[in-house]
A and B are shown apart, each in its own frame.
Chain A
Amino acid sequence: MKPRIRVTNLVKCFGSVTAVAGISFDVGEGEFVSLLGPSGCGKTTTLRCIGGYETPSAGTIEIRGRVVNDVPIHQRDIGMVFQNYALFPHKTVGDNVGFALKMRGVRKEERRVRVAEALTLVEMVGYEDRYPAQLSAGQRQRVALARALIHRPSVLLLDEPLANLDRRLRETMRVELKLIQERVGISTIFVTHDQEEALVMSDRIAVMEGGHIHQLGTPAEVYNRPATGFVATFIGETNFLEGDVTALEDGLARVRVAGDLVVIVAATDGCRPGSHVGISVRPERIEIGLEAPASASNVVSGIVEFVTYLGSTASYRVLASAGARFHVMKPVVGERAAFAEGDRVALWWEPERGRIVV
């Protein structure tokens, strides 16, 4: 089956600045793909190229198997939600939502019916005659979504649509947005700099930086098997260690990190004795206790420097005797964090819990 959208070797330069440096990815039928990265990583430029708002410097964009590089915006059959929603301030909610139908010559009566349907989808029934200025930010967001979906476009493009909402509303809306997307079954590209949003909503995430895609995979893949150090640090928190491989045996690599601290980790294809590697270990994958069990590997002893109590979890910053600092996160059992500042503790983790990244 052909993908709904295929981006091949997309390059976009603004003068001497390369915003997108040759990226490729597909979006399948009904799939929700996030472009995730810090500002300036090229994610919005990529989205704007797909929408037709920017002309690619090189590469091709296909929608439903048709190359659309030279197709003007209004013939691309897209639905786009802008960061500021871009509702027409001089038109009512009904006219805003029905705009795409009006442009397609749909008659007024049918328009009214379909506007009502679209408003039902986003739970905004009865707001047809209001103006955007009379709505709250969350309501505007819903109207913008209804407007982008009413003409059943080939693809839904979302440019940080949740960025302007307060935290609580944002958390509600991302679940709702995802539910609506699933109900409609529309292929969606979602641009965000918020890793949590991307993890919650996406079928697949493209982690971008400097105009490149570092990794494209499911949320679990990019979280558990980060391809690069950037992905490891950008998505979730991690302990990032660097060192030289001293030995390889049984698919495990021994890596000498600072001083006499040696870490055992699953080897990857590229690593040879002597090669310099980075290792990522997630804070919740590290065990913490007063003493490590005898069978444990990767045992590090240290002193708890700082405790952050978050109610359901507690995170500990541990200064290891080897000099490195570790960040460990554990669920809180009972009322208080298990360890206090100044406690002598041991940390340990199984080799497969760490991951070599480049």
Chain B
Amino acid sequence: MSEQVASLAIKTGARVRARIGVAVARASRYQRSLLLSPVAVFLLGFFLFPFISLFRVSLARNPGGTGYGEGTRFYVPGTWTLDNYLRFFSDPYFVQMAAFTIELGIIVAVVTTVVSYAVAYQIYRAGALLKSVLLLVVILPKFTNVLVLMYGLLVVFGSSGLVNKFLQAVRLVDEPIPMLFNLFSVVLGQTILVLPYCVLVIAAVLHAIDTSLSEAAQGLGASRARAFWEVTLPLSLPAVWVSLLLSFMWGMGAFAAPYLLGNPDLYTLAVEVDRQTNWRLNWAMGATVAFVLMGTVTVLMLAYSRMQREGARA
């Protein structure tokens, strides 16, 4: 069913593209650039311009002082300096935070991908009804607000929350286990935010794998687990790579989970951007942290895709 919908969507898309293609070919160069203008205006006005302005701010001197009171300035306009970047890379506070952000990205990527694969595989194997139910459950968190979701976790995982009550009831533990405001809760919170996307990506690729391949493997003497290992898993690896990339990027950009479910030792660069900008009113430093975060993600992503390409060649 979902495959039919997907193939229909692809076909329709191709038809629409073909029609647009014909129209574009007929149009003059001038008319063609006119077609692009809404996108161009949007990207220039709402992405590129703020992006450049923000970069400019990161290169301005910070005003010093508390930032509060009369004549407050968030940065000193018209000044040029690399001080903010130098400070970032020389201050252990920032460097450690950057290191932790990368670490969190990796942990979230691995945890999310492993859990997503397990969930996606169950969806793949399930019958029609269970499949719909599981998909709904996976997507449901996306219907609620991030804050609601995070506070929901507070209720469930608190000292007198559902999970601890259950563990005590079955006499697995005597004292409630601290499950909040530590790495566990941060990873959990972030995983829940990213999971639906990764599950959908992996489930889509699994559904595209011909079931007769696994059947053929079993017919040739592979147990179900061996058939999975030899056939299904290798054929679904592209989805695993995408899932790792998606969840790593989101893990590194984590804000709500570390902020609401973590403690200051577990704050990420994204949290620091907010603290510099909104609390310390040091826009120059806030912008600098934002650009370091973005630069780090970009470099790691490029390295990752290069690694993958070489892996594919080998």
Contacts and interface: CB of A to CB of B under 8 A. Distances in A.
Interface of A: 51-53, 72-76, 78-80, 82, 84, 86-90, 99-100, 103-104, 147-148, 151, 157
A87 B221 CA distance: 15
B231 interface: yes
Given A100-B221, A103-B226, A89 B235 contact: yes
A344 to B, nearest CB: 57
A103 B224 CA distance: 12
A79 B221 CA distance: 9
A88 B222 CA distance: 13
Nearest to B223: A74
Contacts of B226: 74, 103
Secondary structure type dominating chain B contacts: helix
Interface of B: 210, 212-213, 215-224, 226-227, 230-231, 234-235
Given A90-B234, A90-B235, A74 B221 contact: yes
B231 A88 contact: yes
A147 B223 contact: no
B219 A80 contact: yes
Given A74-B220, A90-B234, 9 more contacts: A52-B218, A53-B215, A79-B219, A86-B212, A88-B216, A103-B220, A103-B226, A148-B220, A151-B220
Nearest to A83: B212
Given A82-B212, A86-B212, A103-B226, A51 B219 contact: yes
Contacts of A52: 218-219
Nearest to B220: A100
B119 to A, nearest CB: 24
A147 B220 contact: yes
Contact of B219 (A78, A84, A88, A104): A78
Q: Which 4 A-B pairs have the closest CB atoms?
A: A103-B221, A86-B216, A100-B220, A86-B212
B218 A74 contact: yes
A88 B213 contact: yes
A157 B219 CA distance: 10
B212 A88 contact: no
B221 to A, nearest CB: 4
14 contacts: A51-B219, A52-B218, A53-B219, A73-B215, A74-B224, A80-B219, A84-B212, A86-B212, A86-B213, A87-B216, A89-B235, A103-B221, A104-B221, A148-B220
A73 B219 contact: yes
Contacts of B235: 89-90
A86 B222 contact: no
Contact of B220 (A53, A89, A90, A99): A99
